[in-house]
Amino acid sequence: MHIPNGFLTDPVCAATTLASAAAVGYSIARLRRDELPSLAPWMAATGAGIFAAQMVNFPIDGATSGHVIGAALAAIALGPWRGMLTMAVVLAVQCLVFGDGGLAVLGANVLNMAVVATMVSWGVYQFTTRRLSGTPGKLAGAGAAAFASVLAAAVACSVELAISGTYAAGDVLTAMLSVHLVIALCEGLITVSIVAAAMALATQPRLASPGNLAIVGIAAAIAGAALLAPFASSSPDGLERVAEDLNFATLAGDTFAIVPEYEVPGVSSSLLAVALAGVFGVAIVALATYAIGRTATARVPKQ
């Protein structure tokens, strides 16, 4: 659901950039008042895992694919403020390094997938777990949160496209929701599976510490990026499919990328090029998220 350059007007780009910057800034301010430890290792592992998961597009039908957004995973693992910050780092790396989502619309992508999707996920998860206790409640909450996060991001994207005059509001909203409904169901199932696996790992004595869980998470992200991403579906994702069906795909502008199309330049094997790009991206996201997680919660000594 990464919006490319050209789909949104300059005023909408400016407004969404201001809104997302304010939200991310507020999340950092909240973390500075938080009495909890930084949880930077968990942020690094979660960010790395979400980056790897987003590289693995799964087929929806013969002409469309989808991928995990990961906002629900971030919210459940880290809470709303760390989750929002982690998602923002993932999206920034995807844009600045891989050209996934335009730079002009980075604010809109952060608003949709890091702010709106994360906050909706957190709200739905809290609502569900307060009414269903124990493991069943957590798993039901994870599935509902993931499902809601995808649809919420799709609605936000549709509103931005409509305000920009890219396409009529009713038509683009109907098209986005119809495509992303199946993607949302898939994300819900994937999120439940990941949360169940994480809960099972957390019961193992050797993996109970945050540091060990973070190492396992980063290792799993590296494995996913290296082994699964090269075989991801090449079909257009939900937004790309809607843009093609509604005939505004030609509005997409060029985007600068250090590693374009998630393939390391100069590598003859496309499978190896994607695998290397995935591992490279996982490393960047893990390091950046860890550094920002530590910095955001750093206490300034009082004089």
Residues of the chain with pLDDT > 70, as a percent, come to: 94
Residue 263 lies in a domain: yes
Residue 288 lies in a domain: yes
- On whether the CB atoms of residues 48 and 285 are closer than 8 A, the answer is yes
Residue 298 has what pLDDT?
61
Neighbour-count burial of 84, counting CB atoms closer than 10 A to its CB (0-12 exposed, 13-18 middle, 19+ buried): buried
Q: What is the length of the chain?
A: 303
Residue 78 lies in a domain: yes
Record the tokens describing residue 10, joined without a space: 């300059």
Record the tokens describing residue 195, joined without a space: 């949360």
Q: How far apart are CA 42 and CA 95, in angstroms?
A: 23
pLDDT tens sequence across 143-190: 999 999 999 999 999 999 999 999 999 999 999 999 999 999 999 999
Strand blocks (E) in the chain: 58-61, 64-66
Residue 267 lies in a domain: yes
State the pLDDT confidence band at 24, using cuts at 50, 70 and 90.
very high
Q: How far apart are CA 16 and CA 82, in angstroms?
A: 20
In single-letter form, the type of residue at position 2 comes to H
Residue 260 Cα distances to 190, 254, 264, 267, angstroms: 27, 11, 8, 13
- Cα-Cα-Cα-Cα dihedral sign, residues 100, 122, 120, 194: positive
State the pLDDT confidence band at 37, using cuts at 50, 70 and 90.
low
Residue 155 has what pLDDT?
98
Residue 2 lies in a domain: no
Q: How many domains does the chain have?
A: 1
- Decide: helix, strand or coil at residue 1: coil
Residue 27 has what pLDDT?
93
- On whether the CB atoms of residues 6 and 252 are closer than 8 A, the answer is yes
We report the CATH number of the domain holding residue 176 as 1.10.1760.20
CA 224-125-50 angle, 5° bins: 20
Q: Which of 38-52, 113-127, 157-171 has the lowest mean pLDDT?
A: 38-52
Q: How far apart are CA 147 and CA 156, in angstroms?
A: 15
* Enclosing domain of residue 225: 10-296
Residue 286 lies in a domain: yes
Q: How far apart are CA 113 and CA 137, in angstroms?
A: 24
Residue 204 lies in a domain: yes
Using a cut of 0.85, tell me whether the model's pTM lies above it. Answer: yes
Q: How far apart are CA 198 and CA 217, in angstroms?
A: 9
Residue 5 lies in a domain: no
